[in-house]
């Protein structure tokens, strides 16, 4: 029996955010099945449709077969009372919470928030306020099972990769990244927030090795927002770039438009991921779709995301990373094979239709 109504709940809804995109995609999939669906969040930056305050949820979800899906990625003290008070089926989608220790040297408030996020998840599982669990990855599912969840279904997140595939790359940015009269250049690309778990230092050291040991022209492109509250971390990265002598070849781009981001992907030798914690990796999915090889640290969910369609090591040190990028630059056939296999995997596993099917099947719809 289809639910008459469904609510998608999260503490903050942000457009072009991985969790936000998943929530918006879920809402669209449920509406396509004829289910009246609303987005609920106390705060938001999203203008394409109304976003309702959680206080109005009781008058919308009336019980019976109605459905509430709560996205868990950060500690939110109001969540337990909301889940306790609704009279419908309650589903939790787990996106993972960054371990607190990554922030201990940089921002006590973030460290506290992450610690509370992990303890809050454990409390929520024990409370039995959730009827069913979804997770972005097996890594996330295993965490839930370890906390006592009886069963968890893995469903990759909805995303906006189709938009990235369809837009035209920004010409001037792409021109800066393509080979010029001086020959090929290795472009290492990292996409994601500039936060301490992302392994930026490893990427910078690999860049230095490519330039000084291999004698290659190389640059590192860091696409993603910097956080003023993590200014100490940002300063450390710039200091390391100076120390390594690569400060002129590390680009901190901030957030980019889809056209600019596509230019970075198309000009990249590889998407290089040295993160020490990832519960999923949407940039890896973007790279697969656009035919960009992925070189990644294998101890996180990135290896699961690309599922053998990239170069993965555990641990991924600067030496291995530099050697992998050098091989991709100097052996175009290897890069082309990885790109082709990656695109095939994207269409098999992460196309919009595949994600929607897995989501609806997980809910029994």
pLDDT at 223: 98
For position 154, what pLDDT does the model report? 98
- Do residues 266 and 144 share a domain? no
Given pLDDT bands bounded at 50, 70 and 90, which one contains residue 178? confident
183 has a pLDDT exceeding 70: no
DSSP state of 128: T
Q: Are residues 148 and 273 in the same domain?
A: no
Q: What is the model's pLDDT at position 184?
A: 66
User: Can you tell me the distance from the alpha carbon of 259 to that of 138, in angstroms, rounded to the nearest whole number?
Assistant: 32
Q: Is the separation of the CB atoms in 272 and 209 below 8 Å? A: no
Give the pLDDT of residue 47: 86
CA–CA dist 305, 257 (Å, integer): 24
**Model pLDDT for residues 89-116, shown as the tens digit of each residue:** 999 999 999 999 999 999 999 999 999 9
Residue 233, C-beta contacts closer than 8 angstroms, at least 6 positions apart: 106, 194, 195, 196
Q: How confident is the model at residue 280 (pLDDT cuts 50, 70, 90)?
A: very high
The residue with tokens 């000009």 is 267
Q: Say how far apart CA 215 and CA 32 lie, in whole Å.
A: 54
Same domain, 106 and 180: no
What is the average per-residue pLDDT within 210-221? 91
CATH of the domain at 240: 3.40.50.2000
Which letter does DSSP use for residue 361 in this model?
A: H
Q: What pLDDT sits at residue 213?
A: 81
Residues 332 and 191 occupy one common structural domain: yes
Confidence band for 179, pLDDT divided at 50, 70 and 90: confident
> Would you list the DSSP string of 22-47?
HHHHHHHHHHHTT-EEEEE-SEEE--
Pair of tokens at residue 8: 């998608």
Question: Within this chain, do residues 123 and 177 fall inside the same structural domain, yes or no?
Answer: no
Which of 177-186, 237-246, 325-334 shows the highest mean pLDDT? 237-246
Report the pLDDT value the prediction gives residue 214, as an integer from 0 to 100: 76
Q: Residue 199's closest CA among 297, 284, 294, 101? A: 297
C-alpha to C-alpha distance for 264 and 177, rounded to whole angstroms = 7
> Two tokens at 75?
């500690």
Q: Do 84 and 99 fall into the same domain?
A: yes
pLDDT band at 1 (very low <50, low <70, confident <90, very high): confident
Chain centroid to CA 278: how far? Answer: 7
Q: 215: pLDDT confidence band, cut at 50, 70 and 90?
A: confident
The sheet that has 89-94: what strands, in order across it?
A: 51-52, 36-40, 5-9, 67-72, 89-94, 132-135, 152-154
Structural domain count, the chain:
2
Q: Which of 222, 225, 226, 220 is nearest to 205 (CA)?
A: 220
Residues 298 and 151 placed together within one structural domain of the fold: no
CB atoms within 10 A of CB 186: 24
pLDDT 10s digits, 11-41: 999 988 999 999 999 999 999 999 999 999 9
Residues 221, 274, single domain; the answer is yes
What interhelical angle do 352-362 and 332-349 show, nearest 10? Answer: 40
Kindly state the percentage of the chain with pLDDT values over 90.
92
Give the chain's end-to-end CA distance (angstroms, integer): 8
- Spatial distance between the Cα atoms of 175 and 153, rounded to a whole number of angstroms: 43
- In the predicted model, is pLDDT for residue 196 greater than 90? yes
Looking at the chain, the whole-number percentage of residues with pLDDT higher than 70 is 99
43 and 153, same domain (yes or no): yes
Indicate if the pLDDT at residue 181 is higher than 70: no
Residues 215 and 322 in one domain: yes
Q: Quickly tell me which residue has 């969040």 as its tokens.
A: 41
Half-sphere exposure of 122 (CA within 13 A, CB side): 7
Task: Domain of residue 269: give its range.
Answer: 163-349
Whether pLDDT at 155 is above 90 = yes
Tell me the average pLDDT of the chain.
Answer: 95
**Side by side, which strands form the sheet with 186-191?**
250-254, 218-223, 186-191, 270-273, 294-297, 311-313
What is the Rg, in whole angstroms, of the alpha carbon atoms belonging to the chain? 21
Same domain, 213 and 148: no
**Greater model confidence, 7 or 178:** 7
182 and 152 belong to one structural domain = no
| 114-120: average pLDDT | 97
- Bridge partners (DSSP) of residue 297 are 313
Q: Residue 64 pLDDT > 90, yes or no?
A: no
Stretch among 181-195, 202-216, 236-250, 319-333 having the lowest mean pLDDT: 181-195
Neighbours of 346 (CB within 10 A): 23
């Amino acid at each position: 029996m289809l639910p008459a109504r469904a609510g998608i709940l999260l503490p903050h809804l942000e457009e072009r955010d991985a969790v936000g995109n998943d929530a918006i995609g879920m809402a669209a999939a449920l509406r396509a099945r004829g289910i009246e669906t609303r987005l609920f969040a106390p705060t938001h930056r999203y203008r394409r449709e109304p976003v309702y305050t959680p206080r109005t949820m009781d008058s919308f979800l009336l019980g019976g077969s109605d459905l509430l899906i709560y996205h868990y990625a950060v500690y939110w003290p109001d969540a337990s009372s909301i889940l306790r008070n609704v009279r419908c089926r309650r589903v939790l989608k787990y996106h993972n919470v960054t371990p607190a220790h990554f922030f201990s040297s940089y921002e006590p408030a973030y460290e506290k928030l992450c610690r509370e996020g992990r303890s809050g998840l454990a409390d929520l599982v024990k409370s039995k306020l959730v009827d069913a669990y979804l997770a972005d990855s097996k890594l996330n599912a295993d965490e839930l099972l370890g906390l006592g969840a009886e069963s968890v279904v893995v469903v990759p997140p909805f995303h906006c990769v189709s938009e990235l595939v369809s837009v035209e790359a920004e010409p001037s940015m792409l021109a800066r990244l393509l080979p010029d009269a001086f020959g090929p250049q290795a472009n290492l690309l990292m996409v994601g927030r500039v936060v301490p778990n992302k392994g930026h230092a490893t990427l910078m050291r690999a860049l230095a090795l490519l330039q000084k040991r291999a004698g290659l022209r190389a640059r590192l492109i860091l696409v993603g927002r910097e956080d003023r509250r993590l200014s100490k971390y940002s300063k450390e990265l710039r200091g390391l770039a100076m120390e390594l002598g690569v400060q002129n070849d590390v680009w901190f781009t901030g957030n980019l438009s889809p056209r600019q981001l596509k230019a970075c992907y198309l000009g990249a030798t590889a998407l290089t991921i040295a993160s020490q914690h990832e519960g999923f990796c949407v940039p890896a999915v973007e790279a697969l779709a656009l035919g960009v090889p992925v070189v990644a640290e294998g101890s996180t969910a990135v290896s699961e995301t690309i599922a053998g369609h990239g170069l993965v090591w555990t641990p991924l040190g600067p030496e291995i990373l530099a050697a992998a990028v050098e091989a991709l630059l100097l052996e175009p056939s290897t890069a082309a094979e990885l790109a082709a296999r990656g695109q095939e995997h994207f269409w098999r596993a992460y196309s919009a239709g595949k994600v929607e099917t897995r989501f609806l099947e997980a809910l029994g719809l």
